[in-house]
């Protein structure tokens, strides 16, 4: 069909990137002229609804014989920075073959969708991969007449869900209004070992009313995710749909790209490319959330999350040195019996070998000689504690416990001090936009205040050195 561009432009009035969306749809129309375009109401999993552009048509698939597979694609208002939502659109005499890329409701899941990244990803490219995957595993089959009657009921139900006719909105909205401001939902993005460890630790902590594990891996659930489905936990949901994260108070990012990158820069760039598909979608569904980054390298990926989300700096933080600080304080208190020192002790700076101990206040002393003696004594104790700390690895379950600790402080507005990755510009004469671990007071809005550190030229020098190397790496990345 010929696109009535002016009419379409008016319909897409609320789309953030209207011109880019129109250009892409014109290309789709040239390649697949049988597609029909319309604006309809889409109902998300949380019951919220939006008027979205969508198009329906058939794609040619060869599976022994030639088949025309009916599909429907919904274009989000953040397109092309968020992937379309894709469904099969079977007729009454067609059954859905649930498999690697299709669920029982006809929702389509593809690697192309999970790795979506503008401008590399396009609707044309998506449809091409869809055809290729359908040629490996046909998503539909013919029904007998009795099965067709049951299929009609299922199709009617699916149509009501996707077109907003079930009354789900009103029920959901009543529930949301009643719980507004007190329903604590956390989404964990990434279903690897770290993501699952975070879910288990957060669930055990009991701070969240609901925990969503967003699984971006290809195909059917396996490994730990499958085990979570088998041994169900209360208030834990597993999903592949970004809309399941809607209205999260905190979103924990644990995803790391597992590509074939050769250099460290390539590895980091691969993670950046992955985040370019994740952060806009997360930001779209949870516009007031706090982003808590646990992906590596945490300082760089926190910076990337801040830039891609356009959130205030207070609402984008990295797990940073929270785990190391808690361990450091524990070692000082329980192993070295220095409880007074432990209260003011922090691990700050860059995660890894370049981390450095620091202090938020000094002991009151009568004169400079006593001050120097106290400082030397403290440094000796700190060095012993750091030697013990070096032997401790960063295992997934350990980081998961640290993440649960941070989310607990945020959700409960504890105003507790944690050493987390925060924007360090202006601290210790750092002039670049880099994130480093610094002691910060955390609450429901993220970082409330940065705690002042004791003046120390050596610490300042180390922080400036870390900031310089991180900034140099960031300059080489393509956001």
What are the pLDDT digits (tens) for 154-194? 455 455 544 444 333 333 333 333 334 458 999 999 988 89
The per-residue pLDDT for 376 is 61
- Residue appearing with tokens 């808690």: 326
* Six token digits for residue 260: 């074939």
The per-residue pLDDT for 257 is 80
The per-residue pLDDT for 366 is 44
pLDDT band at 418 (very low <50, low <70, confident <90, very high): very high
pLDDT band at 87 (very low <50, low <70, confident <90, very high): very high
Region 114-134 average pLDDT: 90
**Cβ(223)–Cβ(250) below 8 Å:** no
CA nearest 87: which of 67, 100, 69, 68? 69
Region 396-405 average pLDDT: 92
Indicate the pairing of strand 65-75 with strand 85-88: antiparallel
Best mean pLDDT range from 36-45, 119-128, 333-342:
119-128
pLDDT at 374 > cutoff 50: yes
What's the chain's average pLDDT? 82
Higher pLDDT, 419 or 277: 419
pLDDT band at 422 (very low <50, low <70, confident <90, very high): very high
- Residue appearing with tokens 């299922």: 154
The per-residue pLDDT for 167 is 37
Higher pLDDT, 347 or 220: 347
Q: Distances from the Cα of 294 to the Cαs of 233, 356, 420, in angstroms?
A: 23, 19, 11
**Cβ(392)–Cβ(327) below 8 Å:** yes
pLDDT at 282 > cutoff 60: yes
The per-residue pLDDT for 467 is 93
**Cβ(345)–Cβ(456) below 8 Å:** no
Give the Cα separation of 373 and 154 in Å (integer). Answer: 78
The per-residue pLDDT for 277 is 85
pTM: 0.64
Where is 461: in which H helix or E strand?
A: helix 457-475
Where is 455: in which H helix or E strand?
A: none
Domains by residue range for the chain, with CATH:
1-142 (3.10.110.10), 184-362+371-478 (3.40.50.720)
pLDDT at 319 > cutoff 50: yes
The per-residue pLDDT for 241 is 84
């Amino acid at each position: 069909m010929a696109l009535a561009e002016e009419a379409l432009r008016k319909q897409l009035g609320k789309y953030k990137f209207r011109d880019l969306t129109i250009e892409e749809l014109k290309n789709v129309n040239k390649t697949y002229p049988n597609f029909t375009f319309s604006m309809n109401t889409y109902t998300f999993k949380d019951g919220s609804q939006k008027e979205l552009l969508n198009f329906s048509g058939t794609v040619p698939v060869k599976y022994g014989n030639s088949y025309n597979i009916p599909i429907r694609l919904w274009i989000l208002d953040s397109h092309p920075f968020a992937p379309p939502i894709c469904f099969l659109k079977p007729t009454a005499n067609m059954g859905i073959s649930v498999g690697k890329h299709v669920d029982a409701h006809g929702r389509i899941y593809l690697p192309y969708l999970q790795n979506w990244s503008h401008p590399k990803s396009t609707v044309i490219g998506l449809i091409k991969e869809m055809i290729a995957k359908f040629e490996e595993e046909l998503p539909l089959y013919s029904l007998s007449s009795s099965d067709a009657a049951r299929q009609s009921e299922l199709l009617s139900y699916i149509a009501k869900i996707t077109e907003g006719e079930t009354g789900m909105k009103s029920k959901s909205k009543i529930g949301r209004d009643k719980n507004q401001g007190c329903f604590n939902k956390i989404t964990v993005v990434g279903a690897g070992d770290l993501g699952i460890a975070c879910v288990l630790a957060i669930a055990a902590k009991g701070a969240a009313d609901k925990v969503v594990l967003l699984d971006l891996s290809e195909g059917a659930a396996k490994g730990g995710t499958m085990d979570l489905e088998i041994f169900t936990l209360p208030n834990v949901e597993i999903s592949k749909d970004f809309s399941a994260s809607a209205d999260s108070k905190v979103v924990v990012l644990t995803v790391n790209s597992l590509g074939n990158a050769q250099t460290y820069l390539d590895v980091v760039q691969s993670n950046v490319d992955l985040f370019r598909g994740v952060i806009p979608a997360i930001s779209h569904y949870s516009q007031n959330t706090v982003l808590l980054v646990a992906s590596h390298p945490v300082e760089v990926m926190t910076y990337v999350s801040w830039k891609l989300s356009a959130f205030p700096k207070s609402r984008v933080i990295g797990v940073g040195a929270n785990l190391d600080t808690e361990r450091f304080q524990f070692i000082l208190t329980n192993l070295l019996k220095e409880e007074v020192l432990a209260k003011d002790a922090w691990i700050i700076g860059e995660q890894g070998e370049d981390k450095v101990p620091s202090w938020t206040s000094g002991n009151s002393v009568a004169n400079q000689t006593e001050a120097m003696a106290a400082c030397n004594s403290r440094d000796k104790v700190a060095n012993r504690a750091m030697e013990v700390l070096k032997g401790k690895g960063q295992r997934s379950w350990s980081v998961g416990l640290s993440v649960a600790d941070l989310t607990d402080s945020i959700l409960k507005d504890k105003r507790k001090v944690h050493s987390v990755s925060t924007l360090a510009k202006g601290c210790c004469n750092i002039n670049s936009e880099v994130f480093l671990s610094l002691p910060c007071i955390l609450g429901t809005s993220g970082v409330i205040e940065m705690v002042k550190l004791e003046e120390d030229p050596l610490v300042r020098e180390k922080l400036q050195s870390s900031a310089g190397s991180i900034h140099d790496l960031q300059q080489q990345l393509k956001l």
